[in-house]
Structure 1
Amino acid sequence: MKMRFLVRTCLIVLSLLPAVSTQRDGSSVVGSDQPLIASPGEDVILPCHITPSLSAVDMEVRWYRENFNIPVHLYEDQSDRTDDQDSDYRGRTALSIVRLEEGILSLKLRNLRPSDSGVYSCYADDGVWNGQGKTELIVRALGTQPSISMDSTQGEQTRLVCRSEGWSPEPEVIWRDRDGNDVTSLSSTTVQRDSQGLLSVSSYIKIKQQSNVFSCLVRSKTPKPDWESKLHISSDFFPGVSGWMVAFFLTLALSIGAIPLLVIQWRRMDAMERKLEPMGK
């Protein structure tokens, strides 16, 4: 009798295993298909969940970046494990136990730093089934208004420098001449990182006598406002005829040439008014 009961029990358990396996195999871990953009010092929640919804309270939940074995956050045996956690993230991460019951694996990351930018992997494992999703984080800082100045004189050419600081990630620098032409290919740019992880850019370009107005655009690679500065180089700096003088004399010549035409037109209108005077009486 006991043997029959044991056999039946085993058969029932074995019959349930495929159903449990199917439930796990049909689930997946989903991150974010769009990058998250935040600023230094802010808090952010990196989204991740199991679909269809499945409790992750008894699972291993691991967030990491490049190295699987150095987690940004590790939840295992129903508790947070900080022994192997990346030291840069200690005290700055949190998972919600209540949300884990709903299959929500989202990670809260506090006090963002520029170095936090990157792709984060969200991994869940129950010993039989596992899944992984990814979320990209961009910690964006808009730098200062760029400044343009004379850097040095080398022979007959002068070098301008455009400087801006406090950027994250690295911005794009675009130079344009007085006619709006892109002359960035003629420039060279250097980038330095400060103690806070923010970037400072210095872009250099050699200018020729024929051009006397330059603009420097420092543009964020994320969808945020741009900064632009312009520099007008005085005609006293370069010998010879400057562009504004050419424009002035050209305008003056056109004005003088138009005077006879205006006089002729005025005389015609005066003669026409005299002819119409008798008709109006």
Structure 2
Amino acid sequence: MNFIFLTLLIISGITYARSDRYEVVSPADTVFAVAGEDVILPCSVKPSISVVDMRVEWFRSDLKNSQLVHLYEDHEDRNTNQSYRGRTKLNHEELQRGDASLKLSSVQVSDEGRYKCLIQSKSWSDYASLDISVEAVGSPPVITVDGFDQSGGLHLQCESEGWNPEPFLEWLNSEGASLSSETTEMQRNTDGFSVKHTITVQHIDDKIHCRVRLRHHMLETLIVTSSKSFNPWRTLIILSTIAAVLVVISGILLAAFVHTNREHNKRQNEYMTEKEERDKLLEERKRKQQERDKLLEERKRKQQEYSELLQDENQRIKQEREKLEQEKLRFQQEREKPQEE
């Protein structure tokens, strides 16, 4: 009984030692993406080995049922999830180098979350985790008039949708001073955040700005209120709205963000390229070492064959000598025999 337990313990230790040789890693804890663009989710085995014959599974670990994103098994890609079908891809050539990075195309706000890369062979398995943070610029804010209160104040409502992460909305007067919102509504769906603020303006002759900001993005709409246009005692309200979206500023900031994102992707691609070059050098070094070992083995084999041939030849010469000695002795005996007669 003790022998069986000891044997199982040794086998378990050997299995653990083998599985502990490799680990699945990701160089980035968080990958930043822009809605509508493509992104690479890095994942690889360290030290580098081929994962072509292994199972590679990408899935969402932040969702309730761990939603499958992409599955590679038995040398085939198997993806049945409607949310990701046609948008995920593994590079099969990179799988030979242990690189199981996933390309996710046409990023959506709903793609934001926690992802896991699981690689499994017959003897070991491991996984790495990373987060995707998706940024989306929403629609220009829209100002609508909800009427007047009993004191003659003008009710205004500003709404914008399609943002991610949560944007900041504020009201400003013509002097740039911030105005307090009376009600605030924030909702989130698969397309991102929608925000709605209401305010009551007591001074009719003014310019009111509704501004939505998210990091380096800013969209703004202006409404001009005038006592000539707005009469609290009239039932008919004529609204003149001037939408002044800061296209130039937003465009410059957006270009800066795109440039920063491209630089990030460039650095990431450089890292992947350097990694590929290192892996190629290691493979080349390993191949040359194998060739040297093969040559040494061949030399050793030939030396062994030469030694055996030399030994056989010496044995043959020895036998020939013995045979000659016997012939010589027999010949002498035959010569001596007639003399005796």
TM-score normalized by the length of structure 1:
0.63
Unmatched runs of 5 consecutive residues or more in structure 2: 1-10, 233-341
Aligned equivalents of 2:192, 2:12: Cα separation in 1? 58
Asked if residue 230 in structure 1 is aligned to residue 228 in structure 2, the reply is no
Whether the 8 Å CA contact 1:32–1:134 is kept in 2: the answer is no
Cα 1:98–1:208 shift into 2, 3 Å: same
Deviation at 1:124, TM superposition (A): 1.8
Give 1:106 deviation, angstroms: 1.0
Q: Read off the aligned partner of 2:200 and give its amino acid letter.
A: K
Partner of 1:75: 72
Query: 94, 98, 109: which is aligned to 1:99?
Result: 94
CA distance in 2 between partners of 1:202 and 1:173 (Å)? 8
Find 2:18's aligned residue among 17, 20, 24.
20
Deviations 1:50-101 (A, max 9, x none): 233232223221111125653111112332233xx42211222111121112
**Aligned 8 A contact 1:31 1:122 in 2:** no
Corresponding residue number in structure 1 for 2:208: 214
Q: Which amino acid aligns with 2:154?
A: T
Cα contact 1:28–1:52 (8 A) shared by 2? no
Aligned partner (choices 132, 137, 145) of residue 127 of structure 2 = 132
Within-5 A mapping of 1:232-271? 232-236=224-228, 237=230
For the residue of structure 2 that corresponds to 1:72, the secondary structure is: strand
Question: In the aligned structure 2, how far is the partner of 1:38 from the partner of 1:74?
Answer: 24
Q: Does 1:43 align with 2:38?
A: yes
How far off is 1:160 after superposition? 0.8
Unaligned stretches of 5+ residues in structure 1: 1-12, 240-281
1:229 partner letter: T
Match of 1:98, SS? helix
Task: Go from structure 1 to structure 2 and tell me whether the alpha carbon gap of 1:155 and 1:192 turns closer, same or farther (over 3 Å shift).
Answer: farther
Q: Residue 118 of structure 2 aligns to which amino acid in structure 1? A: Y
Match of 1:64 in 2: 59
Q: Which has the higher helix share?
A: 2
Separation in 2 of the partners of 1:31 and 1:80?
24
Equivalent runs, 1:150-169 vs 2, <5 Å: 150-156=145-151, 157-169=153-165
- Give the Å deviation of 1:170: 4.3
Q: What secondary structure is seen at the aligned counterpart in 2 of 1:164?
A: strand
TM-superposed deviation, 1:235: 4.5
| Aligned mates of 2:100, 2:188 — CA distance in 1 | 36
Question: Which letter does structure 2 place at the counterpart of 1:20?
Answer: R
- Residue 172 of structure 1 aligns with an amino acid whose one-letter code is F
Post-superposition offset of 1:163: 2.9
**Residue matched to 1:123:** 118
Residue 15 of structure 2 is aligned to residue 34 of structure 1: no
User: Which whole-Å CA distance do the structure 1 matches of 2:137 and 2:150 have between them?
Assistant: 36
Q: Distance in 2 between matches of 1:68 and 1:106?
A: 23
RMSD: 3.4
8 A Cα contact 1:30 1:132, kept in partner: no
Q: Deviations over 1:11-44 (max 9, x none)?
A: xx999867634412xx24225223322222x333
In structure 2, the CA distance between the partners of 1:17 and 1:125, relative to structure 1 (3 Å rule), is closer
Aligned to 2:316: none
CA distance in 1, matches of 2:205, 2:150: 17
Cα distance in 2 between the residues matched to 1:137 and 1:20: 32
Relative contact order (C-alpha < 8 Å, sep 6+): which is higher?
Answer: 1
Alignment length (residue pairs)? 218
Conserved in 1, the CA contact under 8 Å of 2:143 and 2:158? yes
Question: Judging changes above 3 Å, is the alpha-carbon distance between structure 1 residues 72 and 146 closer, same or farther for their aligned structure 2 residues?
Answer: same
Q: Aligned-pair distance for 1:175? A: 2.2
Residue 88 of structure 1 aligns to a residue in which SS? coil
Instruction: Give the 3 Å change call, closer, same or farther, for CA 15–43 of structure 1 in structure 2.
Output: closer
Structure 1 stretch displaced more, 120-129 or 98-107? 120-129
Whether the aligned pair in 1 keeps the contact of 2:161 and 2:192 (CA below 8 Å) is yes
Alignment equivalent of 2:168, drawn from 158, 165, 172: 172
Q: What letter corresponds to residue 77 of structure 1 in structure 2?
A: D
SS at match of 1:226: strand
Alignment check: 8 A CA contact 1:63 1:73 kept: yes
